[in-house]
């Protein structure tokens, strides 16, 4: 009988800017344009260097959606010598690769051409679908139009980009909406085969947001949704939960395959009040299952060669390092 495996990635979280064109009702990530609203190259490089020394393999680049559309942002970016935030993340991705970390970018809505360009320097990419429902929380967020998000996820499939997506539960959607969202993701994967993992993320109320008094999903509701995801999604798509947002030990047995990116260095900037568990805590969460480290690009996509030639040496090197660590633990 095979022992069940639960995976995770060791990463550094790099929020290049929290300026965002969306105004989601549940979000505390978004901030106004001001001096210092963009992470400086020096700060990014220091974080990459420290992360590499701690054994991290993934550089998770995130930023607010279409920050260039926010008045004043272009002037702040120009101070760093850039006209486009995507040029900035491209160069920083190269810096990450040089230091031995694989970039994974979650930049919000991107065009086909933008995805194609960033694919050159990213081992994987991501965008949360969140929900297919039209909800009040997204009323002031044009980038959260489900059709726009579905189109981007489909474009990633057309480009053979190993991709992360997911649903956010408790933001005003119904159980039927959750089922529909998972079915949409399933159908996209059946068509293109590019969905590595689907995150089932529970809403956590944040002070100072319009939804600060909204009820958070309970454990039973999260369990039911995880089970639904595992039932709907193909077996080769991992179901992931963020281990810092709920009592993960109570959820594992309901179909969880992966615990996502966990950092020994940086905080969860989207949920700063929720610290990451450390590796030993993840072992407790995994229970009787084997806890296994992975890269941000899943093994099946390495085997298929779904990455740019620029990334091949580093992917092979890190995959061998992780495999060697596993052999050492089993010795």
Query: Per the annotation, does 27 bind a ligand?
Result: yes
- SS3 sequence of the chain: CCCCEEEEEEEEEEEEECCCCCCCCCCCCCCCCCCCCECCHHHHHHHHHHHHHCCCCEEEEEECCCHHHCCCHHHHHHCCCCCCHHHHHHHHHHHHHHCCCEEEEECCCCCHHHHHHHHCCCCEEECCCECCCCCHHHCCCHHHCHHHHHHHHHHHHHCCCCEEEEEEECCCCCHHHHHHHHHHHHHHHHHHCCEEEEEEEECCCCCCCCCCCCCCCCHHHHHHHHHHHHHHCCCCCEEECCCCCCCHHHCHHHCCCEEEEECCCCCCCCCCCCCCCCHHHHHHHHCCCEEEECCCCCHHHHHHCCCCHHHHHHHHHHHHHHHHHHHHHHC
Query: Per the annotation, does 24 bind a ligand?
Result: yes
CB 34 within 8 A of CB 151: no
Query: Per the annotation, does 20 bind a ligand?
Result: yes
Cα 75 to chain centroid distance, Å, stands at: 28
| Tokens 């999260």 -> residue | 222
Tokens coding 176: 């039927």
State the binding site: 20, 24, 27
State the binding site for [4Fe-4S] cluster: 20, 24, 27
């Amino acid at each position: 009988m095979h022992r069940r495996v639960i995976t995770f990635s060791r990463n550094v979280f790099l929020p290049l800017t929290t300026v965002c064109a969306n105004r989601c009702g549940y979000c505390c990530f978004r901030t106004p344009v001001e001096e210092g609203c963009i992470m400086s190259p020096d700060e990014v490089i220091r974080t990459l260097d420290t992360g590499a020394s701690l054994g991290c393999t993934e550089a998770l680049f995130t930023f607010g959606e279409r920050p260039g559309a926010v008045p004043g942002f272009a002037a702040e970016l120009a101070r760093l010598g850039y006209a486009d935030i995507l040029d900035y993340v491209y160069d920083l991705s190269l810096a990450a690769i040089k230091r031995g970390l694989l970039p994974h970018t979650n930049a919000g809505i991107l065009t086909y051409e933008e995805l194609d360009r960033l694919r050159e320097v990213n081992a994987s990419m991501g965008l949360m679908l969140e929900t297919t429902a039209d909800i009040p929380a997204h009323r002031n967020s044009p980038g959260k139009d489900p059709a726009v998000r579905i189109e981007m996820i489909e474009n990633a499939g057309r480009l053979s980009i190993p991709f992360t997506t997911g649903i956010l539960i408790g933001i005003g959607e119904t159980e039927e909406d959750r089922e529909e969202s998972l079915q949409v993701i399933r159908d996209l994967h059946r068509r293109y085969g590019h969905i590595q993992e689907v995150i089932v993320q529970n809403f956590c109320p944040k002070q100072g947001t319009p939804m600060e008094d909204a009820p958070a999903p309970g454990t039973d509701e999260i369990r039911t949704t995880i089970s639904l995801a595992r039932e709907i999604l193909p077996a080769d798509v991992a179901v992931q939960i963020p281990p810092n947002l709920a009592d993960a030990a109570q959820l594992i047995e309901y179909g969880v395959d992966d615990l996502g990116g966990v950092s020994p260095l940086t905080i969860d900037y989207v949920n700063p009040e929720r610290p990451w568990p450390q590796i030993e805590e993840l072992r407790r969460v995994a229970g009787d299952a084997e806890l296994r480290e992975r890269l941000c690009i899943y093994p099946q996509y390495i085997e298929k060669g779904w990455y740019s030639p620029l990334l091949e040496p580093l992917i092979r090197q890190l995959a061998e390092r992780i495999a060697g660590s596993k052999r050492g633990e089993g010795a």
